[in-house]
Amino acid sequence: MTGRLTIVGLGPGSAELLTPAASAALAAATDLVGYGPYLDRIPAGPASQRRHASDNRVELQRAQEALALAAAGQRVAVVSGGDPGIFAMAAAVLEAVESGEPAWRALPIDVVPGISAMQAASAEVGALLGHDFCAISLSDNLKPRAIIERRLKAALDADFVIAFYNPVSKARPDGLTAALDLARTIRSPQTPVVFARAVSRPDESIRIVTLAEAQSGMADMQTVVIIGSSATRLIAKADGSAWVLTPRSYEVPA
């Protein structure tokens, strides 16, 4: 049997947001490798399919394990939530290839994209990512805090809509507070901020607040927090709730 490795995006959670290509890649795998809660989302495959669950923090080790299995002839699917190319396993696998066994470079390695949390969140509220945007991970596990601050300041100055991934953790309770405080020095207090938690899952909750009201306690590690640009605004619905719109054309703020 010829081994191969496919890095599969599971989307934000709901089975309906898993692409047919991702489903096919999962069904074709002899071995599934990933963080335990992601593996738990995948319906049972063939009886012979094996699951290798790991902790969330050991991405490089997990990637090496998956590559070793593929090199031994298995058809391996490595899974990530959302899109595997966004703060996830596609980069971990290629990092492992870069520093690993020369034989791994001969393996067929494919990436199957998925719907990322920011896309699902934007869709839930309307058109929050309707114009230029960027994504910043607030996790300082893999990068210095100074870089987070520099990028955040630049993104705020450039008036991007900004999606924060990994917004809070026990190790970093104050990262989001610092980010919101910095945003408040640059953007209007009325700027819409969306806290989208567990999007597309049964426990989904979406909160739309102003930048003045936004607080770190509104987010956990299952939340993507998106700050609007100066052009982002609410469109009132007849029932009193609102869509969030970032229009396609940039209107210079008055």
- Which residues form the interface with ligand SAH (CB under 6 A)? 12-13, 80-83, 86-88, 116-117, 165-167, 196-201, 221-224
Question: 88 or 231: whose CB is closer to ligand SAH?
Answer: 88
Task: Please tell me the number of Cα atoms within 13 Å of 160 on its side-chain side.
Answer: 16
DSSP string, 88-151: SHHHHHHHHHHHS-GGGGGS-EEEE----HHHHHHHHHEETTSS-EEEEE---SSS-HHHHHHH
Q: 3-state DSSP call for residue 33?
A: strand
**Distance from C-alpha of 75 to C-alpha of 4, rounded to nearest angstrom:** 5
Question: 150 or 201: whose CB is closer to ligand SAH?
Answer: 201
The residues pairing with 224 across neighbouring beta strands, listed in sequence order, are 196
Q: How many CB atoms lie within 10 A of CB 182?
A: 14
Q: How far is the CB of 103 from ligand SAH (least distance, A)?
A: 28
Q: C-alpha 250: how far from its chain's center?
A: 26
Q: How far is the CB of 51 from ligand SAH (least distance, A)?
A: 20
Q: How far is the CB of 137 from ligand SAH (least distance, A)?
A: 7
Question: 35 or 74: whose CB is closer to ligand SAH?
Answer: 35
Q: How far is the CB of 111 from ligand SAH (least distance, A)?
A: 12
The closest residue (CB) to ligand SAH is 82
Question: 167 or 175: whose CB is closer to ligand SAH?
Answer: 167
Q: How far is the CB of 114 from ligand SAH (least distance, A)?
A: 7
Question: 81 or 175: whose CB is closer to ligand SAH?
Answer: 81
Q: 3-state DSSP call for residue 66?
A: helix
